[in-house]
């Protein structure tokens, strides 16, 4: 079996999260996840099964027709639903042995949620961490779960389901992260977003409020822009243009 080594800041937590993700994927037709093979805490790395013939969705979407793009959105929504559901069965804190961190304000003004409906978030559910094939939108590979608080915004391990959904939506918008910029015509974005959220809701038999996802999306984009424009980082005009375009579409 071909493998590769991934270095990460908290390899042990990443390894555990990969294990959980791989187990969940064994029960799904919609997605798979690489099997974690070994853990080297001293070297700060984990060894993972290599999945061949797949490419990041960030590379597939720009060349995909609308039918394929919608198919991918649907598969990704369903996959995330199945992932969240299977992770809900687990006492996550015990498995990961990590503290929760509360996020500032990101879920303000959303509809109420019961404690039991919180999920273990993937944590970095963006276009680059979902792999697939252009001629088969019915299956994806999910990689790179983030066990540590997310770079731009500290988020809890047990969190609202809207967080991963909004992260994906903000990537669809092409702003967060800016470099994954799909060339899809803007008018397709609403459909991709709707397909994603509907498929998620169907997979889990839950009702997700599209407006709530959108509110979290806007906050993630703002947090990302804030992080991107921190003083020690050079902010290019190209990125600024994309951010401003996003703001004007949503103001």
Answer for which of 48, 106, 142, 216 binds ligand ADP (CB under 6 A) is: 48
Does 129 bind ligand ADP (CB under 6 A)? Our answer is yes
Residues 168 and 114: beta-carbon distance below 8 Å:
no
Token pair 């999910």 in the structure block, residue? 142
| 104 φ/ψ angles, rounded to the nearest 5 degrees | -80, 110
Q: Tell me which residue has its CB nearest to Mg ion.
A: 144
122 vs 160 by CB, closer to ligand ADP: 122
For residue 49, the minimal CB distance to ligand ADP (Å) is 6
The candidate with the shortest Cα–Cα distance to 150, out of 162, 163, 141, is 163
Cβ atoms of 177 and 246 within 8 Å: the answer is: no
Nearest distance in Å: CB 51, ligand ADP: 4
d(CA 161, CA 117): 8
Q: Which is nearer to ligand ADP, 144 or 164 (CB)?
A: 144
Is 143 one of the binding residues for ligand ADP (CB under 6 A)?
A: yes
CB of 123 to Mg ion, least distance (A): 11
Alpha-carbon span 5 to 36, nearest angstrom: 10
The answer to the question of residue 51 lying near ligand ADP (CB under 6 A) is yes
For ligand ADP (CB under 6 A), the number of binding residues is: 12
Residue 144 near ligand ADP by CB under 6 A:
yes
Q: How far is the CB of 84 from Mg ion (least distance, A)?
A: 19
Q: Is 129 in the site for Mg ion (CB under 5 A)?
A: yes
**Max intra-chain CA distance, the chain:** 50
SS (H, E, C) 99-130: CCCCCCCCCCCCCCCCHHHCEECCCCCCHHHE
Contacting range for ligand ADP; rule: CB under 6 A; set: 83-91, 123-131, 156-164, 167-175 = 123-131
Question: CA 143 → CA 92, 112, 159, distances in Å?
Answer: 18, 30, 19
Q: Is 6 in the site for ligand ADP (CB under 6 A)?
A: yes
Q: Does 56 bind ligand ADP (CB under 6 A)?
A: yes
The answer to whether the beta carbons of residues 203 and 77 sit under 8 Å apart is yes
CB of 163 to ligand ADP, least distance (A): 18
Residue 50 interacting with ligand ADP (CB under 6 A): yes
> Residue 63: left if φ>0, alpha if ψ -120 to 50, beta else—which one?
alpha
**Segment 14 to 43, residues that bind ligand ADP, using CB under 6 A:** 34
Which residues of this protein are in contact with ligand ADP, per CB under 6 A? 6, 34, 48-51, 56, 128-129, 131, 143-144
């Amino acid at each position: 079996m071909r493998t590769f080594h991934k270095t990460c800041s908290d390899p042990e937590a990443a390894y555990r999260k990969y294990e959980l993700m791989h187990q969940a994927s064994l029960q799904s037709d919609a997605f798979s996840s690489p099997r974690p093979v070994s853990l080297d805490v001293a070297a700060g790395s984990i060894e993972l099964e290599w999945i061949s013939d797949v490419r990041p969705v960030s590379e597939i979407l720009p060349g995909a027709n609308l039918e394929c793009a919608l198919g991918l959105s649907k598969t990704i929504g369903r996959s995330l639903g199945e992932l969240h559901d299977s992770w809900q069965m687990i006492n996550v804190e015990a498995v990961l042995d990590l503290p929760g961190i509360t996020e500032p304000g990101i879920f303000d003004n959303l509809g109420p949620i019961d404690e039991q409906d919180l999920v273990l978030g993937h944590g970095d559910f963006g276009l680059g961490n979902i792999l697939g094939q252009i001629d088969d939108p019915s299956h994806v590979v999910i990689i790179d779960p983030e066990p540590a608080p997310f770079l731009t915004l500290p988020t809890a391990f047990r969190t609202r389901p809207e967080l991963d959904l909004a992260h994906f939506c903000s990537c669809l918008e092409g702003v967060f992260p800016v470099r994954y910029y799909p060339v899809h015509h803007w008018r397709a974005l609403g459909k991709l977003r709707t397909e994603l959220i509907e498929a998620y809701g169907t997979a889990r038999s839950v009702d997700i409020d599209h407006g709530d996802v959108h509110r979290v999306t806007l906050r993630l984009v703002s947090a990302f822009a804030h992080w991107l424009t921190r003083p020690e980082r050079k902010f290019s005009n190209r990125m600024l243009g994309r951010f401003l375009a996003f703001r004007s579409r949503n103001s």
